[in-house]
Structure 1
Amino acid sequence: MCGIALLVSGIRVDLSSLHLDSTSPSSKTHLVFSVDDLKAALQRRGPDSLGTKKLLLLHSNTSSTGNFCVSSVNEETHAVDNGSNVAESFAELVFLGATLQLRGVAPVSQPLVDSSGNILVYNGEIFGGIEVGGDSNDTEVLLQSLGKCCSCLSQEHTTTCNFKGQGKGSVPDVLSVIKGPWTIIYWQESSKTLWFGRDAFGRRSLLVHWPTMEDSRFLLSSVSSTSSSLQYSGFEVESGTDGNKFWEELSCGIYSMSVDATKLDGRFFGDIKKHEWTNVMLKQLIEWERVSVEPKPEELYFSCSKTLGAEHDINSASSGSVAAQNVLTALRESMMRRISLHKIYQAIICGARQKENVPVAVLFSGGLDSMILAALLDECLDPNYEIDLLNVSFDGESAPDRISAKAGIKELRRVAPLRRWRLVHIDADLSKLTWETKHVLSLINPANTYMDLNIGIALWLAARGEGWMCEGSSNGIDEDKRVSYTSRARILLVGSGADEQCAGYGRHKTKYRHESWLGLHEEMKLDMQRIWKRNLGRDDRCIADNGKEARFPFLDEDVIRTLLDIPLWEVADLDQPSGKGDKKILREVAEILGLHNAAILPKRAIQFGSRIARESNRKNFGSNRAANQASAGSVVINVPSYFS
């Protein structure tokens, strides 16, 4: 999929049940965001189609029942006879859906509308929970499932629902069983209720503007739109980047807004509520409770003994522990769900040789996580396809990630010699990326630190896929035979979630040193429960802007469940040095896959491995040392001074 948006006007929205923080962002300046602005923001993502559906709610004060009529239209508006005098109040809901079609055999354009008047825009994939056939489009299947839901809210469904026991369920019931990343906006005609939400881990971006005194509209969008009312230094300033907070990340969950016409003044009223997930297994993952956190001395001794035994037998496919084998199985299945080539690809490659089409690429540093993804992709993808490995560097061939990527592709060619691998060298000079930096600054919004911007630029350039490769050389990395190359893969595999779940960050080791196993567990739990806000929304916006879809195999529900079923001391052993004890379980997985060199590589974040952080520090703080003293990564960007 690609992106969704909604603009609601004419409805007085009640947010009291959400208990929003009183310090939540609000705009200090009235920003003029129009439907065209939202459409332009989504169109930047290069969708296959972009559609609009306008819903008019009409109400006459002559009616004492509070009932109102609905008109659903495409782009243009037409009058509706509601059997009474001219409507004295009206509200408008405009749905936008941009589709990057990766499933189904026939083109599908959103928003979708069924025969009952239900409207759906959906940005996501269904990898389980709801059956989607190989020839089917998951958005169409989801609309059918939602169309069978009762008209009550989830709490009513469990008590007084007339459909109880008839298999129809509620909207939260349907959304709670979906496995995979998603955001949704859904109008349920029978109950006059707007449903919206974001999957439990926030793997797809959804921004919200809650109504304020300055702007009473309610807006949702996959990406921030540009206001034509503010300009600075010749470029449009996104709301939020100069302190005028307009958008915020919608927290994960399922929300509803029941719309009614009040009897007091005839105006439309919307009551927003947040609903509980109804799937027990999903709730367990959200709570992120591990089966075993603190080891007994004999358990820790046994674990160390197994590790030593495996080190003495690294060439044996069976040397990995049972736990590592289970993780590998879960990851392999996760990969299969994410790269299964549906019939849509047959249409794409019609008349062309299969090997000329590259459907899937890997965000590739040559580090542990991306090496595991590349090796698993080779196992799961048809051998006729080539695989693009996208590597970004701000220091030419000297960046750590470029060095490890070149070493990594050699190891991949050793374990998978029949696959044609393409290492795409994406070189950048931060001083020459003025327009690109401004553009990415708008994409990361409402994220606004130097670290967010550095990561965003690196991800955006990687997803664009424009670089060079080595053609015709014996080892595939002979720099004397460079040719320009742009990756056309529409699916980009990203290693997000591996560090959070397997203790890959330096702060995990610090927490373990000070608070032992329980402290480590709580820190990892916190990381997983805030990953939607700190990482995934930002990353999704930067990658999707290039017409690519990010997929996160490490954040598959079954992978998360498998890792939580493993004792913490089997997942990580932070008494060991870096490159050995951190992400211990994934290092064992790499050994099983034959990636012996990758299995001992230390953790290195993209902003450091690509060296964009170094270049940014020099540009904005004068030196790395000065940046470190100022804790530059967490410093909020001052837009005027940044581009002065």
Structure 2
Amino acid sequence: MCGIALVLSGGRIVVVPSAAAAAAAGIHPSDEGKGVTVDELKEALRRRGPDSLGCERLRVCADGTVLGGDGCGVGDGGDVGVAELCFIGATLQLRGAVPVSQPMVGHSGSVLVFNGEIYGGIHVADDQNDTQSLLASLESCCSCDCHVLVRDETCSCCGSVGKSVPQILSTIKGPWALIYWQKDSKTLWFGRDAFGRRSLLVHWPTPDDSRFILSSVSPRSFAINTSASTVNGLGSGANNEFSDSTNMSYWEELPCGIYNIQLKDFEKNAMCIKEACIIKVRKHEWMDSSLDKLIQWKRKSIVPTVDDLSFRNPTEADKNIAYKVLIVLRESVMLRTNVNRLFEGDLTKLKDDELAPIAILFSGGLDSMILAALLDQFLDSKWTIDLLNVSFDEQLAPDRISALSGLKELQRISPIRRWRLVEIDTALTHLKEESEHVMSLIHPSNTYMDLNIGIALWLAASGDGWVDGSICNMKEGSRYKYKSTSRVLLVGSGADEQCAGYGRHRTKYRLGGWVSLDEEMRLDVQRIWKRNMGRDDRCISDHGKEARFPFLDENVIRTLLEIPLWEIAKLDEPVGKGDKKILREVANLLGLKGAALQPKRAIQFGSRIARESNRKNFGSNRAANQASAGSVEIHQHTL
């Protein structure tokens, strides 16, 4: 997990989405924006990447000449006619044989800041870091204008030079967000993976701050106190790839995709209006056909025939299909839990009973139990697995009750393993300062539901709680304070969206049948980047931890789409049986008989933070329900 950012300023440049150029006429470039500073970005990013922090500054003249810099200074501007690019990279290094730092500068002078993990598409040697491997691949890319100008097919001028940047990025399996300066073409590339598993926020130029800024997270000062502004449709109504309205906050979630800005002879090639050179952001299509199919999320078999439901051996068929899902889930967890030489060296510094390189955000529910059982299969038995469970009602919260039950089941199927249940207890009334901090992390999300989920995830990811030695078979049965040192956290995100785990899925099925259910599930997957992943990534990584999402592995998504919908879920059956039917069968294959019967509970309800939040902000649960509290936007004075 890393924190990355870019500040593009100066040079009379105003960067806009492709359809919003005309709306930028009212923006006058200024080197002294009223927005976020480089130092504020550094401070926020350093929490995500505590191992190293670096800056690289380049200046690009109007004729395309590139001048080197001496790091990112206090100033955010540049000389007249010179565009300044300030790259910032904060690193949490988990892979590679030797420490590396970002930004990383290639032999050609290209610059890369990368936040992600590569599990396929680009070869990453055991002794290499992902960023090193990716930079080597990007350095071999063709830099001709055909690719920069969104003509990504192989062109005659390329010959055998190499692939384009979009072709390389489209092949990556795994979560990523990046910012890359391709020196030869004078082009800035940026983007995030097709499911938005890593956060990347964008600030579009406004009259108050004409800079173009990308960042993994918003500094606190520019999340809580920044009101929405209207900029004649810039970045919003003028281009529905971005906002849904013309009222936008300082930051927006960057939609999934690959983008570029070319600064080659920008005063000649840009559209110049009055004092500004308007440079358009171009969006590229994904170049991998198999990835494109996953994005479209089209299932072949949606509505069953009478034969599909009647003429088969249910038990045998269910096991065969569940086994296919188990195989790809097992591979996904394996890829995400390999402990490399660099990290393994750090573990030797810990006492035997503290060895816990990987933890699980743990509710004791179906998804987290499956992840725990699979992790047990790949992690050396000498290491402990930390199970991080958060509660706002101590031992009475539903998730605490199911976590205690789940711990016993894991101890039964794997008695050799040391399972450490970390009980993270708190009260919402004690979290005013923390709530304000989490509000900045979830930004630009801003509802009570987002905040409740964000606080629960943030506290769970901290790993700071208590361990009952009597139930975990540790510390001679004493209850003791403990803070998990695990830097990798497995999270069950994506399971409900793909396997019909939400209550609204049951409602859609009841009202509109299989087709309506399929449409709702597709909508959930295609908007998960905006509703879930960016927010969750920012809250978890704020502790210098890396969230990994095995259910959102490309092969897992592909396999689930190949299975008929009626094998994924059977929503005319009771809760705890028909919802996420396929995963319940996987749990049975793993010996998790109790987990296979667990009902779905969202973290805000299972931890009981939603109940406490409703009482605090609305007076009661009933009043909150009447006000549709989950979708109500938060105002600062109510925190």
TM-score by length of 1: 0.89
User: Aligned pair 1:261/2:266, yes or no?
Assistant: yes
1:58 aligns with 2:61: yes
**2:50 paired residue number:** 47
Q: CA deviation at 1:16?
A: 4.9
Distance apart, 1:161 and its partner CA = 4.5
Please, which of 291, 294, 306 is the counterpart of residue 297 of structure 1?
Answer: 306
* CA 1:131–1:46: 2 relative to 1, 3 Å: closer
Match of 2:153 in 1: 158
Output the CA distance in 2 between the equivalents of 1:403 and 1:21. 58
How far off is 1:495 after superposition? 0.2
Equivalent of 2:226 in 239, 253, 260: 239
* C-alpha distance in structure 1 between counterparts of 2:47 and 2:74, whole Å: 26
* 1:262 aligned counterpart, secondary structure: helix
Pairing 1:63-102 to 2, within 5 Å after superposition: 66-75=63-72, 89-102=81-94
Instruction: Tell me the SS of whatever aligns to 1:191.
Output: coil
Q: Given the superposition, is the C-alpha separation of residues 241 and 452 from structure 1 closer, same or farther in structure 2, using an over 3 Å criterion?
A: farther
- Is residue 2:341 matched to residue 1:363? no
Which residue is 1:107 aligned to?
Answer: 99
- 2:211 is aligned to 217
Question: Cα gap change, 1:148/1:399 in structure 2, threshold over 3 Å: closer, same or farther?
Answer: same
Residue 321 of structure 1, CA deviation: 1.9
SS at 1:73's partner residue? coil
Shift in CA distance, 244/271, structure 1 to aligned 2, threshold 3 Å: closer
Equivalence for 2:399: 401
SS where residue 614 of structure 2 aligns? helix
Counterparts of 1:426-441 in structure 2, within 5 Å, are: 426-441=424-439
1:629 corresponds in structure 2 to 626
CA–CA separation in structure 2 for the residues paired with 1:353 and 1:479? 16
Pick which of 186-195 and 213-222 moved more: 213-222
Q: Give the number of aligned pairs.
A: 603
1:15 equivalenced with 2:5 (yes/no):
no
Displacement after TM superposition at 1:275 (Å): 0.1
User: Is contact 2:362-2:403 (8 Å) kept?
Assistant: yes
352-361 or 631-640, which deviates more: 352-361
Deviant stretches of 4+, over 4 Å: 18-22, 240-244, 264-269, 351-355, 474-480
- In the TM superposition, residue 225 of structure 1 has moved relative to its aligned partner by 1.6
Q: 1:120 to 1:18 in 2, by over 3 A?
A: farther
The alpha carbon displacement at 1:324 in A equals 0.5
- Cα pair distance change 1:639/1:57, threshold 3 Å: same
CA spacing shift, 1:475–1:536, aligned 2, 3 Å: closer
Structure 2 vs 1, CA of residues 52 and 20 (structure 1 numbering), >3 Å: closer, same or farther?
Answer: same
2-structure distance, mates of 1:401, 1:75: 46
Q: In the alignment, which residue of structure 2 is the partner of 1:82?
A: none
- Find the partner of 1:183 among 171, 174, 177: 177
Q: Which amino acid aligns with 1:50?
A: L
Aligned to 1:38: 41
Residues 46-55 or 567-576, more deviating: 46-55
Return the offset for 1:359.
0.8
Any idea what SS the aligned residue of 1:321 has?
helix
Give 1:58 deviation, angstroms. Answer: 2.5
Contact kept in structure 1, 2:14 and 2:276, CA below 8 Å: no
What is the CA-CA distance between 1:423 and the residue it aligns to?
0.3
Summarize deviations over 1:276-322 as a string: whole Å, max 9, x none: 0000100000000112111111102246x51xx37xxxxxxxx9521
Q: CA deviation at 1:14?
A: 4.8
Matches within 5 A, 1:124-135: 124-135=116-127
**Does 2:185 correspond to 1:200?**
no
Aligned partner of 1:577 in structure 2 is 574
What is the CA–CA distance in structure 1 between the aligned matches of 2:339 and 2:477, rounded to whole Å?
35
Name the structure 2 match of 1:83: none
Deviates most, 192-201 or 43-52 = 43-52
Counterpart position of 1:141: 133
Which secondary structure does the structure 2 equivalent of 1:51 belong to?
strand
Q: Answer whether contact 2:457 2:539 (CA < 8 A) is retained.
A: yes
Residue number among 263, 272, 276 corresponding to 2:285 in the alignment: 276
- Asked if 1 retains the 8 angstrom alpha-carbon contact of 2:48 and 2:91, the reply is no
Q: Structure 1 residues 446 and 139, CA, compared in 2 at 3 Å: closer, same or farther?
A: same
Would the aligned equivalents of 1:575 and 1:581 in 2 still touch at CA under 8 Å? yes
Q: Deviations over 1:171-212 (max 9, x none)?
A: 000000000000000000000000000000000000001112
SS of 1:44's partner is: helix
Structure-1 residue corresponding to 2:556 = 559
CA distance in structure 1 between the aligned counterparts of 2:586 and 2:457, rounded to whole angstroms: 26
Distance (whole Å) between structure 1 residues aligned to residue 163 and residue 179 of structure 2 = 18
**Structure 1 gaps, min length 5:** 60-65, 79-85, 229-235, 311-318
Secondary structure, aligned partner of 2:480 = strand
Deviation at 1:245, TM superposition (A): 1.2
Contact persistence 1:15–1:271 (CA under 8 A): yes
Give the AA of the match of 1:150.
Answer: C
Distance 1:451-1:476 versus aligned 2 partners, 3 A rule: farther
Structure 1 residue 159: Cα displacement: 5.1
Paired residue type of 1:239: T
CA–CA separation in structure 2 for the residues paired with 1:485 and 1:241: 41
1:614 counterpart (611, 616, 626): 611
Question: For the Cα contact (< 8 Å) 2:39–2:74, is it kept in 1?
Answer: no
The answer to whether the Cα contact below 8 Å between 1:89 and 1:266 also exists between their aligned partners in 2 is no
Distance 1:18 1:355, change over 3 A: farther
Question: Does 2:428 match 1:418?
Answer: no
Letter in structure 1 aligned against 2:71: N
Rounded to whole Å, the distance in 1 between the matches of 2:574 and 2:288 is: 40
- Bigger CA drift: 4-13 or 572-581? 4-13
Give a deviation string over 1:420-450, Cα, whole Å, max 9, x none: 0000000010001111111001110000000
Which amino acid is 1:451 matched to? M
Q: Secondary structure at the match of 1:43?
A: helix
Offset from partner CA, 1:46-101 (integer Å, 9 cap, x none): 51001011111234xxxxxx4433324334699xxxxxxx9752111100001000
Distance 1:159 1:384 in 2: 51
Give the drift of 1:335.
Answer: 0.3
Alpha-carbon spacing, 1:209–1:266, altered in 2? closer, same or farther (3 Å)? closer
Query: Residue by residue, what CA displacement relative to the aligned partner does 1:564-591 show, whole Å, maximum 9, x if unpaired?
Result: 0000000000111110000000000000
Q: Any idea what SS the aligned residue of 2:309 has?
A: helix
C-alpha distance in 2 between matches for 1:268 and 1:189:
21
Tell me the secondary structure at the aligned position of residue 543 of structure 1: helix
Tell me which of 512, 517, 521 is aligned to 1:515.
512
SS of 2:420's partner is: strand
Distance 1:335 1:496, change over 3 A: same
- Asked if the contact 2:228–2:250 (Cα under 8 Å) also holds between the matched residues in 1, the reply is no
Give the AA of the match of 1:490. R
How many Å separate the matches in 2 of 1:479 and 1:404? 24
Q: SS of the residue aligned with 2:48?
A: coil
CA distance in 1, matches of 2:471, 2:534: 41
Deviation at 1:244, TM superposition (A): 7.2
In 2, distance between residues paired with 1:116 and 1:141?
15
119-128 or 256-265, larger mean C-alpha shift: 256-265
Q: CA contact under 8 A between 2:10 and 2:79: conserved in structure 1? A: no
Distance 1:580 1:276 in 2: 40
**Equivalent residue number for residue 30 of structure 2:** none
CA distance in 2, matches of 1:615, 1:208: 33
Determine what percentage of the aligned residue pairs are the same residue.
Answer: 58
User: TM (normalized to structure 2)?
Assistant: 0.90
Deviation at 1:45, TM superposition (A): 2.8
User: How much has 1:160 moved relative to structure 2?
Assistant: 2.9
Where 1:93 maps in the other structure, the secondary structure is strand
**Counterpart of 2:459?**
461
Q: Does 1:249 align with 2:224?
A: no
